[in-house]
Amino acid sequence: MRRAMLDEATRKLVTWSRANYIALTDRLLTDQKKLEKAPATKTTLPVRPKGIRTRRGGQIYQLENLQKIAGKSRYGSLIQTWHTINSYVNKVRKVEQPLQQVSDLVKYSNLQHSTEETFPHNEAVIQYKERILAVKLRLQCNILILSDFIELGNGAARNQTKFEIDLSAHLLDSEYLIELAHKYMHPKEVVQGHIFAAQLYGFSRLFASCAPLHTSYKERATTNSAVLKKTGLFRLAQAREILEKYPFTSFLEAEIDAVENMLNGSVYRRVTTKELKAANNAMAGEFSKTGHWHICQNGHIFTISDCEIPTEQAICPECTAPIRGQNQQAEEGMKHTVDKEIAGEIDRLVI
């Protein structure tokens, strides 16, 4: 009974998290739409003989510096959205998962009472998808502000002002997304992580910035533009390898092409609100499927309609692990986690 309550709490956390993800995505899309309509001519970047340089600092520190330069009215709403997304990121950490909380309490009790009690649970039950989506959304917000600032700086003032903006914290976040998504087998988010990293290396060339020296990349990026370009193209090559292995990620190919063109010297074309909304509507479609909840052998939640046991072969939409068997037989490793009430809540999540 207690385990059933924990399982239900986990499903409710997933439902709450995905509802918030969709709401925040919608809010970010609204902010992007406003930014696209904002007249760039009213935001004149200052001409400074000594240039514009920011010290090392966290993501929001760098973004707020850009806000001071471009004007609060331009990025004010986006900065507020960033803070809300960041709060959401913190609320979907591993330590917030019900099963993990109980496990931590057991460990704490053992330390307090010198006991050796255990709380056996499968690590695959811990849902990392929510954390991955949250970090991805934060990076999208970062990229939106940075790309807009670059567009603003393409005028005469940009030619007279030297920009040195540190993007280390943003690059570390993209690497964290890649690492987390790869570890828990979420290919789409791995590809997006590589795209974000490549974009940031491209931006670094424009900002005379450098990548953090403590990253795991084989070639440490420096202020040398050629090295930054090479590192960015390397990330895109890794993304293309995943596209070949997982064809369902092919919808990201156009975005890879756009970033590759930027690294090769073309003008960067920012993803439009319409394109971003189409991609996120597809994500919302994954959340809105009706039916019974299941967990594949890699711990990914999905739904199957019509009956509680699959009747034809299919694959997990996240990792392509087999999730449907033949003749009413579920594949080995697939878990049935029916909860009609929670499934009903998921069914109502739309943009």
| 3-state secondary structure at position 262 | helix
Highest mean pLDDT among 92-96, 289-293, 304-308, 329-333: 92-96
Instruction: Return the half-sphere exposure (C-beta side, CA atoms, 13 A cut-off) of residue 96.
Output: 17
Percentage of the residues of the chain whose pLDDT score is greater than 90: 32
pLDDT category, 216, cuts 50, 70, 90?
very low
pLDDT category, 52, cuts 50, 70, 90?
low
Supply the pLDDT for residue 268: 65
Closest CA to 171 of 137, 133, 204: 204
Highest mean pLDDT among 81-90, 142-151, 210-219, 303-312: 81-90
Is the pLDDT reported for residue 133 higher than 70?
yes
Q: Which of the two residues, 276 and 88, has the higher pLDDT score? A: 88
Is the pLDDT reported for residue 312 higher than 60?
no
Ranges of H-type helices in the chain: 2-37, 59-70, 72-91, 98-113, 129-152, 156-160, 168-183, 187-207, 225-245, 253-263, 273-287, 340-347
List, for residues 61-77, the tens digit of each pLDDT value.
989 988 888 877 889 99
54 close to 166: Cβ distance less than 8 angstroms: yes
What value does the mean pLDDT take over residues 272-296?
61
Place of tokens 């499927």: 289
How is residue 291 annotated by DSSP? Answer: S
pLDDT category, 161, cuts 50, 70, 90?
low
What value does the mean pLDDT take over residues 328-344?
44
Is the pLDDT reported for residue 106 higher than 60?
yes
Distance, CA of 110 to CA of 132 (rounded, Å) = 31
Closest CA to 291 of 279, 278, 301, 281: 301
Is the pLDDT reported for residue 243 higher than 90?
yes
Q: Look at 61-70, 75-84, 246-255, 275-284 and tell me which has the smallest mean pLDDT.
A: 275-284
Q: In the chain, what are the domain boundaries?
A: 23-285, 288-351
List, for residues 20-43, the tens digit of each pLDDT value.
999 999 999 999 999 888 876 544
pLDDT category, 92, cuts 50, 70, 90?
confident
Give the residues across from 302 on adjacent strands.
Answer: 294
pLDDT category, 340, cuts 50, 70, 90?
very low
Q: Which of the two residues, 164 and 93, has the higher pLDDT score? A: 93
pTM over 0.95? The answer is: no
Distance, CA of 262 to CA of 265 (rounded, Å) = 5
What value does the mean pLDDT take over residues 5-31?
84
Is the pLDDT reported for residue 79 higher than 80?
yes
Q: Look at 28-42, 76-90, 215-229 and tell me which has the smallest mean pLDDT.
A: 215-229
What value does the mean pLDDT take over residues 158-177?
79
pLDDT category, 270, cuts 50, 70, 90?
low
149, exposed or middle or buried, with CB in 10 Å at 0-12, 13-18, 19+? Answer: buried
Supply the pLDDT for residue 72: 79
The whole-chain average pLDDT of the chain stands at 74
Distance, CA of 25 to CA of 286 (rounded, Å) = 15
Distance, CA of 63 to CA of 79 (rounded, Å) = 8
CA-based end-to-end distance of the chain: 36
pLDDT category, 110, cuts 50, 70, 90?
confident
Neighbours of 70 (CB within 10 A): 20
Percentage of the residues of the chain whose pLDDT score is greater than 70: 60
